[in-house]
Amino acid sequence: MEGKRKIRIINVVGARPNFMKIAPLMKEYKNYPEIKSILVHTGQHYTREMNDVFFDQLEIPRPDINLEIGSASHAVQTAEIMKRFEPVILKYKPDVVLVVGDVNSTLACALVAAKLGVKVAHVEAGLRSFDRQMPEEINRVLTDAISDYLFVTERSGLKNLKNEGFPKKKIFFVGNVMVDTLLRNLEQSKSSTILEDLKLHGKCYTVVTLHRPSNVDDPIVLGALIEVFEKISQELPIIFPAHPRTRKNIELFGFMKKISETKRRAHPASDGRLRVIDPIGYLDFLKLMASAKVVLTDSGGIQEETTILKVPCLTLRENTERPITLEIGTNKMVGTDPARILAAFHQVSENSGRRCRTPDLWDGYASKRIVEILMRN
Residue 174 clears pLDDT 50, i.e. is over it: yes
Mean pLDDT (whole number) for 73-81: 95
Identity of the residue numbered 337: D
CATH 3.40.50.2000 segments of the chain: 7-176+362-376, 188-350
- What's the full length of the chain, in residues? 377
Question: Are the C-beta atoms of 127 and 156 separated by less than 8 Å?
Answer: yes
Mean pLDDT (whole number) for 168-178: 98
Please calculate the CA angle 76-82-87 and round it to the nearest 5 degrees.
Answer: 140
**Residue 71 or residue 265, greater confidence:** 71
pLDDT classification of 256: cutoffs 50, 70, 90: confident
Residue 295 clears pLDDT 70, i.e. is over it: yes
pLDDT classification of 266: cutoffs 50, 70, 90: very low
pLDDT classification of 263: cutoffs 50, 70, 90: low
Dihedral class, residue 21 (left if φ above 0, else alpha if ψ from -120 to 50, else beta): alpha
Residues 16-69 have pLDDT tens digits of: 889 999 999 999 999 999 999 999 999 986 665 556 788 889 999 999 999 999
Residues 189-233 have pLDDT tens digits of: 999 999 999 999 989 999 999 999 999 999 999 999 999 999 999
Half-sphere exposure of 366 (CA within 13 A, CB side): 31
Active-site residues: which are they? 211
- pLDDT confidence of residue 3: 62
Averaged pLDDT score across all residues of the chain? 92
Dist CA 244 CA 247 (whole Å) = 5
User: DSSP H helical segments within the chain, as ranges?
Assistant: 16-29, 52-57, 74-92, 104-115, 135-145, 155-163, 177-189, 194-197, 213-216, 219-233, 244-252, 256-265, 282-290, 300-309, 324-327, 338-350, 366-376
**If you classify domain 7-176+362-376 with CATH, what class do you get?**
alpha beta
pTM (2 d.p.): 0.93
**If you classify domain 188-350 with CATH, what class do you get?**
alpha beta
Residue 108 clears pLDDT 50, i.e. is over it: yes
- Cα distances (Å, whole numbers) of residue 354 to 311, 313, 328, 350: 9, 12, 11, 10
Question: Are the C-beta atoms of 21 and 181 separated by less than 8 Å?
Answer: yes
pLDDT classification of 5: cutoffs 50, 70, 90: confident
**Residue 340 or residue 352, greater confidence:** 340
pLDDT classification of 168: cutoffs 50, 70, 90: very high
Residues 322-351 have pLDDT tens digits of: 999 999 978 999 999 999 999 999 999 887
**Residue 353 or residue 340, greater confidence:** 340
**Three-state secondary-structure class, residue 276:** strand
Dist CA 99 CA 1 (whole Å) = 26
